[in-house]
A and B are shown apart, each in its own frame.
Chain A
Amino acid sequence: METLTQPVQNSMKPGKWLNSSCKMCIHSCITRVHVTEDGVVNKIEGNPTSPSNNGRLCPKGNAAILRHYDPARFRTPLRRTNPEKGPGVDPKWVPIGWDEALDLVGRELKKTLDEDPRKLLPAINDFQKLFLWAWPAALGNANYLSSVGNFCGGGYHPMNGFIHSAFAAANDVNYCNYWINNGGGDGFSSHLHTAAQANHVAKARVERNMRVVVVEPRLSIGAAKANEWVPIRPATDRQFALGLAHVLVAEKLYDVKFLKKDTNAPYLVGPDGYFVRNGEGKIYVWDAIDNCARLWDDPEIKDFALEGTYTVEGKPCRPAFQKFKDILADCSPEQMEALTTVPAATTRRIAREFAKAAQIGSYIEIDGRMLPLRPAAYNYYRGAQGHKYSAMANQAFKLVNFLVGAIDTPGGHVGVTLDDQMQDIRGGCGQIQAGENGMMQTMPHQLHPEVPFSWPPNETHLMGFFPIGVDPGHLTQHTLANAEKFGLDYRPDTLLMCHSNPLWNLPGDREQWYALLREMRFIVAIDILPNESNEWADVILPSHDLLESWNMTMIEPPHHEGMCLRQPATPPLYDTKSEEEIFYEISERLGVLETWNGILNFVNGFHQQPDLLLEPNRKYSDREIAERKGKLWNGKDLDWYVEHGHAVTPRRPDKWYRPWDGLRLHFYIEDIVRARDTLRQKMEVADVPFRREWEWGDYQPLPTAVPDPVHLEPADFDLYAITFKDIQINFGESIGNPWINDIVFKDPVHTAVLLNPKTARERKLDEGDIVRIESPYGAIVARLALSEGVHPDAVCVSNALSRVATQNTGVRHGGGNFNQLLPANLRHTDACSGQPETVAKVKLTKLASVPADVAAGNSVFGRTSGKGRAH
C-alpha cells in the first residue's frame, strides 16, 4: 500500500545516488544514477559537477534505464541450435553455462588459430573500452570486419592526425563567433559529446550571438538553428570549400604571418611533389626580399615567399602556397557553383564574412600566453568528408581554416585528442612530436599503429595497403568476391564481434555480406541485445551493460579532458560478464594471456607508470583496469573517483591551443605523396598484379576540385541519396529502446524519406507514396514525405529507417538498409584514407504498395503501430 507521504517522482524516492558516466553513444557524458532501496535503477541524470555536459543529457542518455531492463537482453551465454543462418532467421539459441561457452569459443578459436590466425575476422567496436580493439593483435591478426569510415570518418581521423596530431577536431566554442558547420552536427545533433556540445554552442549562439552557417543538403537541426542554411548538392562539399579558399586567396583575405611562420606553406615544392631539399635533406624556401633560395631555418631569411615560380638546385619549384593558388585558379565560386549549386555570390559573401570574423592579426592573452585570436572556424564531419576523395575533402576544409590562421587557436578549429592518458604526458597517439625540417610530426594513425604491407595480403580488407588510412572494413566484400585477383591465399572462416553490428554499418550488397557470413565456420558475439549481425552467431557471450560495469574513460570531449568513472549501479541483472573478463578468459584458453597483458599495458599507457603495470599471467577485472586508468590520469584511486565521479576539467590551454608552438603545420602534406610512392614501390617489388589499377590519383598533397566518381554514375540515376542521424540516435544503437522509439517515430523527418516537393512534382510523386530507391548497387523501399528543407537533388534517408528485421522485435525496421545503396569496392574507396563513398546516385520508382516483406513485423512503413513486441 502506498502511503500518502511516499514520493511519486522517481528521483525523490528513498535510495542513493551513484556517480557514473553514460554509454548510450560512444562518448561519455557524466551522470549520476539513482537506485531505490530495493536496488532498482529509477533515474539517470547528468552530473551537475561536470563542466563538460553540465548536468545535461541527450535523449539517449535519458533512456539508458530501458536498455538495462530491456527484456530482449541476452541473459546467459547462448548456443545456436538452428544450423540454418540468415537475416531474421531464428538461431534457436539455447542457454548454456559460461564454462561451456568459453570452452567452446576457446576451442573453436584455437582451431582457427592453429590453421591460420588470419582466418579470424574481428569486429570489435566498443569505443569506451578502446583497448579491446587491440585484442586481435595478441593473435597477430589485423583483420577488421566493420566500417569506421562509414559511421564517422575514414579520411577524418588521419587528416586530424596530419594537421593537429589529434584524433578529432572541433571549433573552439569558447571564442568562436562565426561557426561554419558542413555535413556535421557538432553542437546540434551529433558528433562530439552531443549533449555537452549542444550546451556550449547554444550559449555561444544566444549569449554571444555567434553566427552559425550550415552547409548541407538537408535542413538538419543545425541548419534549422543556423543564421543561414546553405543547401548544397550532395558530395560537393569539397568544391564549396575550395570556392571559399579561392575567394580568400584571390582577395588576399589570408593570414600571411601564420602561413609563413607556422606552416610549411612557404616550403618549395618540386615537380615530383616533394619539397626541394639540399644534400642533407634540408628544405628550401624563397627569400622574397633577397630574391634567393634559403634553407627554411636560415636566420638570414628576410621574408618567406608564398608565391612565385623559382628554380632551386636545378629544379623548377614553387612555394606550397603557390601550388594551392594554382589549383584554386580553377575553383572560382562560379565554377564551383556548377557542381555545388551554391550561388557564387553566396560563396563570396560567406568567404568575406568568415575572413572578417576571423579578425586576422588579433591576439588574446590566455594564462600568460599571447595567442592569435581567430574567432571563425569551419567544422565538418561525416557527410561532408564521406566521399571517394575523402582525404582531399578533409584537407580542403582544413585549408579554409589554415588560410585565416584558425588552426588550434582560440576561436578557431582545434584538434581534439581521443583519450588523454596522463595529466603530464599527452600520451598515446595524440602526442605532439617534432618532425623533420621544423615541421610537426604527422600522426595519421590515431587508432592503431600502421599495419605493415604484405603480399599476398594478410588482411582481407587490405589494411596493409592503406599506410595512412583507417580500416576500410567494407573492402572485405570486394576482395573475397575477387579473391584470386587480390591474391588472398586464405578464406576467413571465423568471426568475433564485440559490441559491433557490421551488417548494419558496412556499405555494400547485403546478399554478398550474407553469403560471407554463411561461409563462417564459427561466429561468436559479445553483446547486450540482439541485432542484425549477432543473430548470425553460433555463440553469444552476454556482457554487462553500462549500469553493471566498471570503466574509466573520456572519449574525444571537445572542450574538456579527464577521466570519467563508470561504476555498477546494480549487480548484474543476468548471468553476464564484463568485456575484460570475457577477453581474459578467451585469452587464457588460447594461451595468449601474457601477450594480451603486454598489449593492455601499452595501449592503456600503463607502461608509463611501472606501479600500474599488469602482471603477465594474471586476469584482471574491469574494476582493476578502471582503477589503473584513473590512477594514471591523476594519481587518485577508485574511492576518489567513486566519491567525485570524474576528474573532468576544461582542457588546459597549453595543450588545447597551439600545443605545437614552435613547429610548422602541414599546409602541404608531403607525407601523402611519400606514402603513395612507398606503397607503389612495395607493390612493384611484390609484383602485385592490380598495382596499375590502384587508385593512385587519390593521394594528393593538396586538394583539387576533381568531382568524386559518384557524380559519374549513369544518368538515369538522377538523384543523390544521403543518410543522416539526429541526436536521438547518433553514435549508438538506440532504436528499439521504447523511449527512443516513442520520440523518433513521431518526428516527421524520421518516419519517411524526405524529398523536395518540386523534385517530387517533376517525377509525379507525392507525399505518402511508396517508392523503390535504387542505386547501381542496391535498392531499398520507403515512404515519401515532401519537405521544403531538402536540396532538390537529394533524397534524405534517416538512419532510423535503416534497421532491418531481427530477433529483437522492438527494433522497428524500415525498408532496407541505406548502406546497401552504397558500393563496397575500390573504385569508390579513397585509396589514401580508406573512406568509402557515403552518397549514392539513385532513381525513384513508385510502387503500388508497401511490399509484403517490408510491411510485415513492425516496420515504420507498415500499417501497425509497431508498438508490441513478440516474445
Chain B
Amino acid sequence: MARWGMVFDLRRCIGCNACAVACKQENSLPDGVFFTKTLSEEVGEYPDVTRSYVPTICNHCEDAPCERACPTGATYTRPDGIVMVDRDKCIGCGTCIVACPYDQRTRLEPEMLDKGLFGDGRLTPFEEQGIGRFTVGTVVKCTFCHERVDAGQLPACVATCPTEARIFGDLDDPTSRPRQLILERRGRQPLPEKNTNPRVFYID
C-alpha cells in the first residue's frame, strides 16, 4: 500500500494559484473556500529583497492532531495515509480546525453554499452538479483528490501546476520522485516542532 505525499519545490513555484483554482474546479468548492492556496512573503529590504511563494495544503499528517482531537471519529486516516473527513459523522464542532497547526480546515457555513459562486443566491449548473458533496455545518479540507488518486491520476492541483512545483507520489517507495527529491534537496516538513509528521515536504 502506497503512502501518498507531496513535495513543493519553492524554486519552481511562481505563486500563480492555478493550483487553488484547479482544486476549486475539481471539487466544486464554495466561494472563499480553499483546499490549497499559495501564499507570498516579501523578504528583505530594498534593494536586497525578494518574495517567496509558499504553496500550502493539508499535509495529511502521519500523526494528525486533527484526527486525535476530533470527538466523533469523522476525521480518519485511510490506509494509504490520506486524512479524510466523513461528512456523515462530522458534527461541525470545529475542534479539528483549531487542532490543525496548518489552518487547513474550513467549516461550511450556510451562506457559503447558499450565496453561490456569483453571490446572487442562484446556483449555476456547474455548482448544482457539484454541491451535493457538501453538507452544511461540516468540516472540509483537501482529500489529496482521493478519487483521482484511486483512479491512478494525479491530484488536480499537481496536474495543472504550470511550473511542476507540486510533486506527488508514494513516500514509501524509495524510487519515487518525491522521495528522491526529499533526499537530494533535503526536503523539510512544515512546522516540524508541532510533531505532526507531515507527508508534505518543501524543497528550495
A residues with a Cβ closer than 8 A to B are: 2, 7-13, 36, 38, 40-46, 53, 55-59, 61-63, 65-66, 68-72, 188-189, 194-196, 198-199, 201-203, 205-206, 219, 221, 223-225, 229, 231, 726-728, 738-740, 742-743, 746-749, 756-758, 787-792, 810, 867-871
Inter-chain CA distance A691–B139, complex, in Å, is 71
Select from chain B the residue with minimum beta-carbon distance to A193.
B162
Which one, B12, B46, B118, contacts A202 given CB within 8 A?
A: B12
* 8 closest residue pairs by CB, A with B: A202-B163, A69-B124, A8-B133, A224-B51, A62-B21, A868-B119, A198-B162, A743-B17
- Among B25, B37, B124, chain A packs the most CB atoms within 10 A around the CB of B25
**Residues from chain A with Cβ under 8 Å of B21 in the complex:** 59, 62-63, 739-740, 742-743
Q: Are A71 and B162 in contact (CB under 8 A)?
A: no
Question: Are the C-beta atoms of A46 and B16 separated by less than 8 Å?
Answer: no
The docked-state distance in angstroms from the alpha carbon of A66 to that of B127 is 10
Q: Which residues in chain B, 75-93, are within 8 Å of chain A measured between CB atoms?
A: none
Asked if B122 contacts A71 (CB within 8 A), the reply is yes
The answer to whether B130 has its CB under 8 Å from any CB of chain A is yes
| A237 vs B44: C-alpha distance when bound (angstroms) | 24
Asked whether, in the complex, the Cβ of B162 is within 8 Å of the Cβ of A10, the reply is no
Residue among A59, A740, A871 having the largest count of chain B Cβ atoms under 10 Å? A59
Partner of A810, one of B20, B118, B145: B118
A728 touches B16 (CB 8 A): yes
B147–A59 CB distance below 8 A: no
CB pair B129 A40 closer than 8 Å: yes
Complex-state Cα separation, A12 to B26, whole angstroms: 9
Task: Say which residue of B16, B42, B45, B46 sits within 8 Å of A727 (CB atoms).
Answer: B16
A-B CB contact pairs (8 Å), 6 listed: A9-B156, A56-B160, A59-B17, A198-B163, A727-B16, A869-B118
In the complex, which of the residues B16, B46, B146 contacts A756, with contact meaning CB atoms closer than 8 Å? B46
Question: What chain A residues lie within 8 Å of B194 (beta carbons)?
Answer: none
Q: Are A9 and B145 in contact (CB under 8 A)?
A: yes
**B residues near A, CB below 8 A?**
9, 11-12, 14-18, 20-22, 24-28, 31-32, 37, 40, 42, 44-47, 49-53, 115, 117-120, 122, 124-130, 132-133, 145-148, 151, 153, 156, 159-165
Chain B residues positioned under 8 Å from A7 (CB to CB) = 147
Q: A199 contacts B164, CB within 8 Å?
A: yes
Q: Report whether B52 and A224 are in contact in the complex, using a CB–CB cutoff of 8 Å.
A: yes
Instruction: Tell me whether B161 and A11 are in contact (CB under 8 A).
Output: no
Option from B42, B119, B163 in Cβ contact (under 8 Å) with A789: B42
Total number of A-B contacts with CB less than 8 angstroms? 207
Q: Are A748 and B12 in contact (CB under 8 A)?
A: no
The chain A residue sitting closest to B16, CB to CB, is: A727
Q: What are the residues of chain B within 8 A of A68 when measuring CB–CB?
A: 126
**For A63, what are the chain B residues with a Cβ–Cβ distance below 8 Å?**
21, 25
- Residue in A10, A201, A727 with the greatest tally of chain B CB atoms within 10 Å: A10
Q: Are B147 and A57 in contact (CB under 8 A)?
A: no
Q: How far is the CB of A403 from chain B (nearest CB, A)?
A: 27
Which B residues are in CB contact (< 8 Å) with A42?
25, 28, 126, 129-130
B126 touches A202 (CB 8 A): no
- Tell me if B147 and A205 are in contact (CB < 8 A): no
- Taking A42-B130, A62-B21, A788-B49 as contacts, is the C-beta distance between A202 and B148 under 8 angstroms? no
Give the nearest-CB partner of B47 in chain A.
Answer: A231
CB contact under 8 A between A727 and B14, given known A8-B147, A792-B46: yes
Q: Is the CB of A202 within 8 A of B14?
A: yes
A658 to B133, CA, bound (A): 55
Q: B165, A202: Cβ atoms under 8 Å?
A: yes
For A8, the closest partner residue in chain B by CB is B133
Q: Is the CB of A12 within 8 A of B151?
A: yes
Residue of B nearest to A789 (CB): B49
Assembly CA distance A144 to B17 (angstroms): 36
CB atoms of B162 and A199 under 8 A apart: yes
Residues of chain A contacted by B119 (CB below 8 angstroms): 738, 810, 867-869
Contact between A70 and B118, CB atoms less than 8 A apart? yes
- State in angstroms the CA–CA spacing of A758 and B45 once bound together: 10
Shortest distance between the CB of B6 and any CB in chain A (Å): 17
B11 touches A205 (CB 8 A): yes
Q: How far is the CA of A787 from the CA of B51 in the complex (A)?
A: 11
Given A206-B9, A788-B45, CB of A62 within 8 Å of CB of B15: no
Q: How far is the CA of A198 from the CA of B164 in the complex (A)?
A: 9
Cβ–Cβ contact B147 & A229, under 8 A: no
Q: Residue on B with the closest CB to A792? A: B46
Instruction: Given A59-B18, A790-B46, decide whether A65 and B160 contact each other with a Cβ distance below 8 A.
Output: no
Q: Nearest Cβ distance between residue A760 and chain B, in whole angstroms? A: 12
Contacts known (A224-B53, A869-B119); A203 close to B164, Cβ less than 8 A: yes
Residues of the A chain whose Cβ atoms lie less than 8 Å from the Cβ of B42: 219, 787-789
Looking at the assembled complex, report how far the CB atom of A848 sits from the nearest CB atom of chain B, in whole angstroms.
28
Contact partner of A41 (CB less than 8 A), chosen from B49, B117, B126, is B126
B120 & A10 in contact (Cβ 8 Å cutoff) = no
A69: B residues at CB distance < 8 A: 124-127
Besides A38-B125, A57-B162, A787-B42, 20 new A-B residue pairs in contact (Cβ under 8 A), listed by A number: A7-B147, A9-B156, A11-B26, A58-B18, A62-B22, A62-B160, A65-B126, A201-B163, A202-B12, A206-B12, A221-B14, A225-B11, A727-B18, A728-B17, A739-B25, A742-B24, A742-B32, A788-B42, A789-B49, A810-B118
Query: Which of A10, A740, A787, A868 lies in contact with B26, CB distance below 8 A?
Result: A10
Cα A300 to Cα B148 in complex, Å, equals 70
B12 closest partner in A (C-beta)? A202
- In the complex the two chains form, is A221's CB within 8 Å of B162's CB? no
